[in-house]
């Protein structure tokens, strides 16, 4: 994380312009990124890492409290630092709020581990790194598909923003609003998947495959149900939801139109994530990696060229539903093939 922050600091201009930052919004984008990526990037990664370690040990409440605390601090600081009634720092204020909240959450987790040091197996003692080689293979086996997926997500989002930036600034701003609204069902599905992973892995290791399948089905139902609810709400209330974020009429119109297209991907995405973690939980690295790569990066960028030509600007928004549909079909093929193999055994 520190290395990435340093590289970003040195190459901020080409990275941001490659991601779609135009001359009109470059200064604002850089001010936000300076706080979130350069100064607060290491805290964001440390916060996420420690939260997952605490949760993996079974302390889900403590992990949830730390993450929620960071989110609430971010929201409260946004009010005071962003809004013109108070500090009025705009994008820089939002970046400061995010960086400070991540530092607060990271400090909380470090204090939690220190206080629980006699009863927890988690340690941040650097001397224990000498044992890392004993577990690195299994860690990479489980984590590599997720790492690839998140890395390719960054590439795909940057590519989409770059395509949209060729049109008008209001369209870029509208896409930013949609990405904010898209985070609600996205992170809910990721949360369900992350909660499923240890449960599926434990039951698979114990040979309790019936319970693993039941847990997987329940996770899919919950994730799909919430995403479908978001689909209905977003389709009906696209304009007022976009209007919450900005007063500019044209930007809000772009955001509402984009949202109605991209929202159709949400229920598909909500099933893709549990599918991927199930493959990870049962040790099927190849299947997990193929689904992760298919969902982000490999199909997105070629489809951006094709759909943007067929349906200028709005075709960029149709990419995600198409990609998620293809990814879900691939995941289902793997799922039924694995079930058939298990029945044969």
Chain segment 315-343, per-residue pLDDT in tens: 999 998 999 899 899 999 999 998 888 77
Q: What are the b/e assignments for 273-311, b being 16+ CB within 10 Å?
A: bbbbbbbbbbebeebbbbbbbbbbbbbbbebbeebbeee
DSSP 35: I
pLDDT at 300: 85
Burial of 159 (0-12, 13-18, 19+ CB in 10 A): buried
pLDDT at 258: 93
Of the candidates 33, 39, 36, the one whose C-alpha atom is nearest the C-alpha of residue 19 is 33
Alpha helices in 11-119 (DSSP H): 12-18, 26-33, 41-56, 60-82, 91-115
pLDDT at 243: 87
Indicate whether 254 pLDDT > 80: yes
Q: Residue 47: which residues within 8 A CB-CB, separation 6 or more?
A: 66, 67, 70, 102, 105, 106, 109
pLDDT at 344: 65
| Residue linked to tokens 């696209």 | 238
pLDDT at 104: 94
- Give per-residue pLDDT as tens, 167-220: 888 898 899 889 888 888 988 898 888 888 888 888 888 888 889 889 999 999
Q: Which residue has the higher pLDDT, 149 or 316?
A: 316
CA-to-CA distance for 165 and 175, rounded, in angstroms?
10
- Give per-residue pLDDT as tens, 14-63: 888 877 777 777 888 888 899 999 988 899 989 888 888 887 777 778 88
Question: What is the average per-residue pLDDT within 243-262?
Answer: 89
Q: How many CB atoms lie within 10 A of CB 122?
A: 15
CA-to-CA distance for 15 and 17, rounded, in angstroms?
6
Sign of CA dihedral 122, 281, 319, 227: negative
Question: What is the average per-residue pLDDT within 255-271?
Answer: 91
CA-to-CA distance for 133 and 211, rounded, in angstroms?
33
CA-to-CA distance for 230 and 41, rounded, in angstroms?
30
Q: What is the CA radius of gyration of the chain?
A: 21
Indicate whether 141 pLDDT > 90: no
CA-to-CA distance for 45 and 2, rounded, in angstroms?
9
The length of the chain, given as a count of residues = 345
Token pair listed for 49:
């890492």
- Give per-residue pLDDT as tens, 285-299: 888 888 888 877 678
Question: What is the average per-residue pLDDT within 67-93?
Answer: 84
Of the candidates 80, 271, 83, the one whose C-alpha atom is nearest the C-alpha of residue 190 is 271
CA-to-CA distance for 276 and 193, rounded, in angstroms?
8
pLDDT at 207: 86
Indicate whether 101 pLDDT > 90: yes
Indicate whether 135 pLDDT > 80: no
Helices and strands per DSSP (H, E), number in the chain: 15, 0
pLDDT at 231: 94
CA-to-CA distance for 153 and 344, rounded, in angstroms?
36
237 confidence band (pLDDT: 50, 70, 90): very high
Contact 98, 35 (CB under 8 A): yes
């Amino acid at each position: 994380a520190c290395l990435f922050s340093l590289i970003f600091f040195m190459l901020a201009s080409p990275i941001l312009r490659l991601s779609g930052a135009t001359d009109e919004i470059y200064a604002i984008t850089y001010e936000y990124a300076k706080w979130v990526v350069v100064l607060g990037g290491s805290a964001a990664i440390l916060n996420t890492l420690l939260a997952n370690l605490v949760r993996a040990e079974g302390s889900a409440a403590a992990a949830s409290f730390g993450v929620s605390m960071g989110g609430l601090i971010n929201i409260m600081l946004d009010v005071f630092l962003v809004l013109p009634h108070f500090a009025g720092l705009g994008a820089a204020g939002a970046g400061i709020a995010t960086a400070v909240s991540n530092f607060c959450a990271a400090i909380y987790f470090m204090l939690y581990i220190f206080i629980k040091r006699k009863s927890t197996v988690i340690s941040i003692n650097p001397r224990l790194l000498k044992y890392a080689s004993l577990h690195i293979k299994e860690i990479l086996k489980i984590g590599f598909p997720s790492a690839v997926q998140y890395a390719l997500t960054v590439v795909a989002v940057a590519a989409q923003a770059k395509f949209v930036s060729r049109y008008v600034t209001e369209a870029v701003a509208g896409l930013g609003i949609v990405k904010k609204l898209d985070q609600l069902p996205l992170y809910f599905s990721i949360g369900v998947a992350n909660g499923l992973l240890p449960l599926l892995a434990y039951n698979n290791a114990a040979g309790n495959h019936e319970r693993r399948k039941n847990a997987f089905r329940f996770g899919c139902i919950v994730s799909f149900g919430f995403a479908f609810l978001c689909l209905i709400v977003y389709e009906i209330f696209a304009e007022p939801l976009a209007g919450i974020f900005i007063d500019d009429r044209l930007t809000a119109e772009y955001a509402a139109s984009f949202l109605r297209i991209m929202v159709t991907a949400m229920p598909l995405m909500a099933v893709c994530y549990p599918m991927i973690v199930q493959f990870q939980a049962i040790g099927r690295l190849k299947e997990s990696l193929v689904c992760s790569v298919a969902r982000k990066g490999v199909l997105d960028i070629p489809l951006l060229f094709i759909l943007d030509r067929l349906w200028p600007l709005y075709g960029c928004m149709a990419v995600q539903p198409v990609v998620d549909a293809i990814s879900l079909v691939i995941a289902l093929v793997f799922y039924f093939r694995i079930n058939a193999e298990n029945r044969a055994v």
